[in-house]
């Protein structure tokens, strides 16, 4: 008899549980606007009284087979983070942020500090912290409405572009988590990649260097590999090095390992040596010279090493000038100090005055099949 009592009880629980999800929490896939990219533009006030405001642009795929567009773009201007309500009034879909993959900021917003804008993203529990971050020099709205026959879905395109580059670690991984992690670490400053539209596509156009949450400067697109060598290890890269007036060498399948050695000199000043171990193959030697002998190969490698060192050191000088320690020298320097010493230290200034040398050691696995 008692066993049969379980049936009505279970039935009650089932009914109660199904009533548990109220209408407000119900989500029907076809009725959702699953935002894949969010963009933020700065709109400057025209007069003195008018304060600057942000234009928020969101982009979500349209799941209707009869729709002629693949993605819908909505955009509103607002002074605070209430843009979400305004956006939801503009569409018949229920906007959800759980599938957000990328947040794009206009570089001018970043120059004034990103933390205020990131706060809304970090706080939202429906968002994962793997949301990728990107900067652009152009209008974000224009970037997200970029039309090209080969790019049907710009949201996915941007996501894959950033993903592909960071898998090979040719671009430092940059998402909400890494940004906030480096921001709240006193030994490193964050970085965010820059993407810009060009005539044919949207391309990766450099790396933004931050001092705290403000954009301080940037690494140019062609210098990115050298920055990444200083930043950490990468697994598969390509660089072209100009070794002479007319001679260019291209290295592929490049792996790099970074080794930071830091010490205090007699006067208390810091000296660091960043050793970069490169491993790759030479596939192109433009301005062809015949390197038949071992000696001439060694000469070539030496030239490449020197060239890469030079390029890397230029990046370091840039960061020192900006007082932005984006390669995390501080994380290594911490161990040379006691806790009170480190807290008293003005790390930015110490970093700027630091003597940092780069030593590159290239190992060429092979010289291609027609050496």
Partner 1 sequence: MNEKLNAFHIVILIHMTQVGVTIFSLPRICATHFGTNGWIAILPIGLVVFANVALIHAVVRLGGGRSLPEMLGLFLPKPVYGALLLGMSCMYALSACLTSKQYVLMYELQSFPATRPYVFRAGIDILIFFLVIIGIYNLSKAVTVIFFSTIVIPFTLLSLYDETELVRYTPFFLKEGTDFMAGCFEVYAAYLGFEISLFLIPYVGRSTRWFRGVYVANTVTTVVYLILSIIAFGFFSYGQLRDMLYPLLEMTGHVQLPIIERVDTLMFTFFFLVALVTATLYFWIATELFSYVFPKLDKRWPAAFLITVTYFVSSIPNELDLVTGWLRIMGKVAIATAIALPLLLIGGMLITRARRAKAS
Given a contact cutoff of 8 angstroms between Cβ atoms, the answer to whether 103 and 59 are in contact is no
Segment interacting with partner 1 (CB under 8 A) among 77-85, 177-185, 277-285, 355-363: 177-185
Size of the site for partner 1 (CB under 8 A): 33
By the rule CB under 8 A, 11 interacts with partner 1:
no
Query: Residue 13 or 269: which CB sits closer to partner 1?
Result: 13
Q: Are strands 355-364 and 270-286 parallel, antiparallel or unpaired?
A: parallel
Pick one of 273, 331, 352, 364: the residue that binds partner 1 (CB under 8 A).
331
By the rule CB under 8 A, 332 interacts with partner 1:
yes
Q: Least Å distance between CB 356 and partner 1?
A: 16
Q: What is the dihedral of CA 112, 117, 119, 120, to 10 degrees?
A: 170
Pick one of 46, 89, 335, 344: the residue that binds partner 1 (CB under 8 A).
335
By the rule CB under 8 A, 130 interacts with partner 1:
yes
Distance, in Å, from the CA atom of 159 to the CA atom of 144, rounded to the nearest integer, reads 12
Given a contact cutoff of 8 angstroms between Cβ atoms, the answer to whether 328 and 190 are in contact is no
**Helix residue ranges per DSSP H, the chain:** 2-20, 83-89, 107-111, 115-123, 140-144, 154-167, 176-183, 224-231, 294-322, 329-333, 339-344, 347-353
- The number of residues in the chain equals 371
Q: Least Å distance between CB 213 and partner 1?
A: 13
Pick one of 40, 60, 170, 180: the residue that binds partner 1 (CB under 8 A).
180
Given a contact cutoff of 8 angstroms between Cβ atoms, the answer to whether 148 and 119 are in contact is no
Pick one of 65, 125, 267, 268: the residue that binds partner 1 (CB under 8 A).
125
Query: Residue 36 or 75: which CB sits closer to partner 1?
Result: 36
> Site mask, partner 1, residues 59-98, x = CB under 8 A?
---------------------------------------x
Given a contact cutoff of 8 angstroms between Cβ atoms, the answer to whether 231 and 240 are in contact is no
Segment interacting with partner 1 (CB under 8 A) among 184-192, 211-219, 279-287, 356-364: 184-192
By the rule CB under 8 A, 185 interacts with partner 1:
yes
Q: Return the structure tokens found at 151.
A: 């790019």
Query: Residue 133 or 243: which CB sits closer to partner 1?
Result: 133
Q: Least Å distance between CB 97 and partner 1?
A: 12
Q: Which residues of 140-178 are buried (b: 16+ CB within 10 A; e: fewer)?
A: bbebbeeeeeeeebbbbbbbebbeebbeebbbbbbbbeb
Q: Least Å distance between CB 19 and partner 1?
A: 6
By the rule CB under 8 A, 29 interacts with partner 1:
no
Reduced to 3 states (helix: H, G, I; strand: E, B; else coil), residue 113 is coil
Where do contacts with partner 1 occur on this chain (CB under 8 A)? 9, 13, 16-17, 19-22, 24-25, 98-99, 125-126, 128-130, 177, 180-187, 328, 331-332, 334-335, 339, 342
């Amino acid at each position: 008899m008692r066993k049969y009592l379980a049936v009505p009880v279970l039935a009650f629980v089932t009914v109660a549980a199904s009533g548990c999800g109220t209408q407000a929490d119900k989500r029907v896939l076809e009725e959702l606007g699953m935002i894949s990219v969010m963009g933020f533009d700065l709109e400057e006030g025209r007069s003195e009284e008018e304060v600057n405001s942000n234009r928020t642009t969101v982009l979500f795929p349209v799941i209707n087979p009869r729709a002629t567009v693949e993605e819908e773009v909505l955009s509103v201007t607002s002074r605070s983070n209430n843009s979400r309500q305004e956006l939801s009034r503009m569409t018949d879909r229920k906007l959800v942020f759980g599938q957000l993959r990328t947040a794009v900021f206009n570089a001018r917003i970043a120059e004034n500090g990103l933390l205020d804008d990131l706060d809304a993203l970090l706080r939202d529990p429906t968002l994962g912290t793997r949301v990728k971050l990107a900067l652009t020099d152009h209008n974000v709205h224009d970037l997200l409405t970029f039309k090209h026959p080969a790019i049907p879905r710009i949201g996915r395109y941007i996501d894959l572009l950033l993903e592909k580059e960071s898998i090979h670690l040719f671009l430092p991984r940059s998402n909400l988590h890494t940004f906030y992690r480096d921001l709240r670490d006193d030994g490193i400053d964050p970085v965010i990649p820059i993407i810009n539209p060009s005539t044919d596509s949207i391309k990766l156009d450099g790396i933004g260097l931050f001092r705290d949450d403000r954009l301080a400067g940037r690494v140019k697109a062609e210098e990115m590999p050298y920055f990444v060598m200083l930043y950490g290890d990468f697994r598969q890269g390509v660089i072209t090095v100009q070794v002479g007036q007319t001679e260019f060498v291209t290295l592929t399948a490049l792996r790099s390992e970074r080794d930071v050695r830091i010490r205090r000199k007699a006067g208390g000043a810091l000296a660091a040596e960043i050793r970069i171990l490169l491993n790759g193959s030479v596939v192109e030697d433009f301005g062809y010279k015949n390197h038949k002998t071992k000696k001439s190969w060694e000469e070539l490698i030496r030239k490449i090493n020197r060239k890469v060192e030079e390029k890397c050191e230029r990046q370091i000088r840039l960061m020192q000038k900006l007082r932005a320690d984006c390669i995390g020298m501080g994380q290594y320097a911490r161990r040379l100090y006691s806790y009170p010493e480190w807290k008293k230290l003005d790390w930015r200034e110490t970093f700027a005055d630091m003597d940092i040398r780069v030593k590159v050691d290239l190992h060429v696995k092979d010289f291609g099949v027609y050496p």
